[in-house]
Chains A and B, each alone.
Chain A
Amino acid sequence: MSQLSIRKLSTSIVFLLIGIIFITPLLWMLSTSFKFENQVFEQPFTFVHWGHVNFDNYRTILMDTPFLTWFWNSIFVVCFSVILRLILSVFGGYAFGFLKFKYSGAIFFLFLMTLFVPYQLTLLPQFIVYRYIGLLDTRWALIIPNMIDILSIFMMRQFFLSFPRELISAAYMEGCGVFKSFVKIALPLAKTPLVTLGLLSFFMIWDQYYQPLIFLKSKELFTIPIGLQSFQTQFGKAYAQQMALACLAIVPVLAVFLTLQRHFIESVVSSGIKG
C-alpha cells in the first residue's frame, strides 16, 4: 500500500517537473518582466529579486506605449467578430440542420468543400477589394471576414440535426410561427453549443495576426498581436519591457481560460470529435 503511494508520488513529481519544463519560456517571461534591463541575462539566474522587484516595465508599457489602445482595439474586434459569427452560425445552422429548403443539402456540401482552403488565399482578393471600396486600414476590415466561418456553421448544424422535432411542433400547435418558435424554443436550448463556439472563436480571433498585418497601417488601429510586433521591431533591445508587454497580452486570455477551463476542455473535445 505505502509502496504503491510512494511510487504514485514519485511519478507525480516527475510529471510535474515535465509540466514545468514545458512552460519554462513563459515562467522566464514572467520573471524577466519584473527585472531591470541589465538583469535580463544575469548569471547566475535568479527567479525573483525580492527587495528590488522592478514594476517600471509595466508602468512604461501602460503609460508610454499605446498598449491600452491596442487592448481596446482587440476587445472591439473580437467582440464584434464573435457576436456576428454566432448570429450567422446559429441562423445558418438552424436552416441547414433543421428547417431545410430546396438544395440546402447541396449548398451545404459546397460550403464544406471549401473548408480546406488556406486562409492566406482568400485574403489576397479581399485585400484588393478592400482597397477599392476603402475598407483598408479600418477595424471593419478585420471584423467582416470573421463573420463567416464554415466550421462554426457546421457545428451548429450538427447540433440542430438531432434537435427534437416534437418541441418545435408543440410550439407550432400553440400558434408560434417559425421565427418565434426558433427564438423561444430552439435558441435557449442551443446555449451550450453557442458558448462553446463563442469561447473557441474568442481564442482564435484574439490570436489573429495575418489579417491586421496586411489590412492595417495606422498604429492607432493595431490589435495586440500586431502592436506587440511593432514594439518588438522598434525596441528590439528592451527585452524586459518586451516580456512585460507579452505578459499583459497573455493575461486576458489566461484569465478567461482559467475561469472556464473545464468548459473550455469540453468545448475542444466536442468540436474536435464533431469537426
Chain B
Amino acid sequence: MVKSYSLERRERQMGFLFALPSMVGFLVFILLPMLTVLVLSFSKLDLMSGQFSLEGMKYYNKMLNDEDFWRSVRNTVVYLVIYVPLTLTLGLSMAMILNSKMYLRGVVRTFFIIPYITTYVATLVVWNVFLHPTEGPLNSLLMSIGFSHPPQYMVDSHWALPVLAFIGSWKDVGYHCILFLAALQGVSKDFLEASSIDGANRWQRFKHITFPLISPTTFFLLLITIIGGLQAFYQMALLTKGGPAFSTTTLTYYIYRSAFEFYDFSYASAVGVFLFALTLVFILMNWLTQKKWVFYQ
C-alpha cells in the first residue's frame, strides 16, 4: 500500500520531467510567439533601434481601411471556394476509382499519390514551364487542336488565382484519396448488395449508404482542407508573387509582404490575428453544422 502510493508519486514526478521539454518548447515556440503577435498588433517595434511603443487600435484601424487588405480577404475566399470543393470531389472520385474492380490498382494508386509526396517547390518549377502562356506544352497542344486563344494562366489576372487553386488541389489530393479510400473500404459490402437487390441504383446507393458511412472522414477532410486552403502560400510566392495586378495576393502572402518586404511587423501581426480569427470562425461553422450531415456509427 505504502509502496504503490510512493510509486504513484514517482510516476507523477517523472511524468512532469518527461513532459518538461514539450512544455518548454510549447511555451517558447508556440504560446509566447502567439502572445507576442497579439501584443505586436497593438504596438510598434522598431527592429533597428529596438524602440517599442503602444499604439492601441492603430494597426487594426489601418487594416479595416486598407483596400489591399480587403482584396486579399476576397482572394483568400475565392481560393477556398475553388480549392476546397475541387480537392474533396477529386479525392473522392479518385478513391472510388481505386475502390472499383480493376487491374493495375497499385500502379494507379502510386500515380495518384505521387504529387502529394513530391517536393512542392520542384512541382511548382515544373508547372511554371508547363503552363508557359505562349510556348508551354499545354498551350501548344490546345493551339494544335484549334484553340487560337488559349488561357494565359498565371499571366492573366482572371485565370491566375483559379490556376493556383487547381495546382494546390493537384498537389494535396493524394492525401484525400488515401483517406477516402480507407473509408470506402470500411463500407460494408452487405449493405450495398442488400440495397441493390432492393432495386437501388448507383446514385441512390451512394447517397443513402456510402455517403453517410464515410461522412466522418469527409468532415475531417473538410476541416483539414479549409485550414490548408487558408494557409496556402507556396504557389503565390513561387509562381505569381501575388500578381498579376494583386489578383493572387491572399492573406498569407499579404502577411509575408507586410513583414518581410515592408518590415511592418505590427501590421503583419494584425493581419495574422485576423487570419487566425477567420480560421476559428470556419472551424466553428463546421462544428455547428456537422450534426446535419455527419453520421457516426
Besides the known contacts A19-B111, A92-B19, 17 further A-B residue pairs in the complex with CB atoms under 8 A apart: A18-B97, A100-B12, A118-B275, A120-B233, A121-B275, A124-B255, A124-B268, A124-B269, A178-B11, A178-B14, A243-B126, A243-B129, A245-B125, A246-B119, A250-B119, A250-B123, A258-B110
B54 to chain A, nearest CB (A): 17
Q: Does A122 contact B (CB under 8 A)?
A: yes
Known: A148-B29, A249-B122. A118 touches B112 (CB 8 A): no
The answer to whether B108 touches A91, judged by C-beta atoms less than 8 angstroms apart, is: no
- Give the docked Cα–Cα distance between A246 and B238 (Å): 14
Known: A45-B137, A118-B272, A253-B119. A88 touches B21 (CB 8 A): yes
The answer to whether B12 touches A89, judged by C-beta atoms less than 8 angstroms apart, is: no
Q: Can you give 5 A-B contacts (C-beta < 8 A)?
A: A118-B231, A118-B276, A228-B119, A269-B182, A272-B220
Q: Across the interface, which residues of A come within 8 angstroms of B268, CB to CB?
A: 124
Q: Looking across the interface, which residue of chain B has its beta carbon closest to that of A246?
A: B122
Which of B112, B114, B122, B259 counts the most A-chain CB atoms under 10 A from its CB? B122
Q: Looking across the interface, which residue of chain B has its beta carbon closest to that of A272?
A: B179
Q: List CB contacts (< 8 Å) of A128-160 with chain B.
A: 128, 131, 144-145, 147-148, 150, 153
B265 contact from A89, A116, A124, A264, Cβ within 8 A: A124
Q: Looking across the interface, which residue of chain B has its beta carbon closest to that of A261?
A: B110
Q: Looking across the interface, which residue of chain A has its beta carbon closest to that of B130?
A: A25
- Give the docked Cα–Cα distance between A62 and B100 (Å): 44
The answer to whether A124 touches B120, judged by C-beta atoms less than 8 angstroms apart, is: no
B228 to chain A, nearest CB (A): 10
Q: Does A48 contact B (CB under 8 A)?
A: no
B266 to chain A, nearest CB (A): 10
Number of chain A residues close to chain B: CB under 8 A: 96
B141 to chain A, nearest CB (A): 8
Q: Across the interface, which residues of B come within 8 angstroms of A32, CB to CB?
A: 129
Q: Does A15 contact B (CB under 8 A)?
A: yes
A16 contact from B7, B31, B107, B137, Cβ within 8 A: B107
Q: Looking across the interface, which residue of chain B has its beta carbon closest to that of A90?
A: B18
Q: Across the interface, which residues of B come within 8 angstroms of A179, CB to CB?
A: 14
Q: Does A172 contact B (CB under 8 A)?
A: yes
Binary interface encoding of chain B residues 116-128 relative to chain A, with 1 for a CB under 8 A from any of its CBs, else 0 = 0111111101111
Q: Does A170 contact B (CB under 8 A)?
A: no
Q: Does A265 contact B (CB under 8 A)?
A: yes
- Give the docked Cα–Cα distance between A20 and B104 (Å): 12
Q: Does A214 contact B (CB under 8 A)?
A: yes
Q: Across the interface, which residues of B come within 8 angstroms of A206, CB to CB?
A: 119
Q: Does A26 contact B (CB under 8 A)?
A: yes
Q: Does A95 contact B (CB under 8 A)?
A: yes
Q: Looking across the interface, which residue of chain B has its beta carbon closest to that of A123?
A: B33
Q: Across the interface, which residues of A come within 8 angstroms of B7, CB to CB?
A: 172
Q: Across the interface, which residues of A come within 8 angstroms of B34, CB to CB?
A: 114, 117, 121-122
Q: Across the interface, which residues of B come within 8 angstroms of A225, CB to CB?
A: 119-122
The answer to whether A16 touches B104, judged by C-beta atoms less than 8 angstroms apart, is: yes
Q: Does B85 contact A (CB under 8 A)?
A: no
Binary interface encoding of chain A residues 206-223 relative to chain B, with 1 for a CB under 8 A from any of its CBs, else 0 = 110110011000000000
Which of B12, B129, B140 counts the most A-chain CB atoms under 10 A from its CB? B129
Q: List CB contacts (< 8 Å) of B125-146 with chain A.
A: 125-130, 132, 135-137, 140, 144
Known: A25-B123, A250-B119. A95 touches B32 (CB 8 A): no
Q: List CB contacts (< 8 Å) of A76-130 with chain B.
A: 87-89, 91-92, 94-96, 98-102, 104, 107, 110-111, 114, 116-128
The answer to whether A122 touches B30, judged by C-beta atoms less than 8 angstroms apart, is: yes
The answer to whether B122 touches A119, judged by C-beta atoms less than 8 angstroms apart, is: no
Q: Does A29 contact B (CB under 8 A)?
A: yes
- Give the docked Cα–Cα distance between A211 and B127 (Å): 22
The answer to whether B118 touches A131, judged by C-beta atoms less than 8 angstroms apart, is: no
The answer to whether A210 touches B25, judged by C-beta atoms less than 8 angstroms apart, is: no
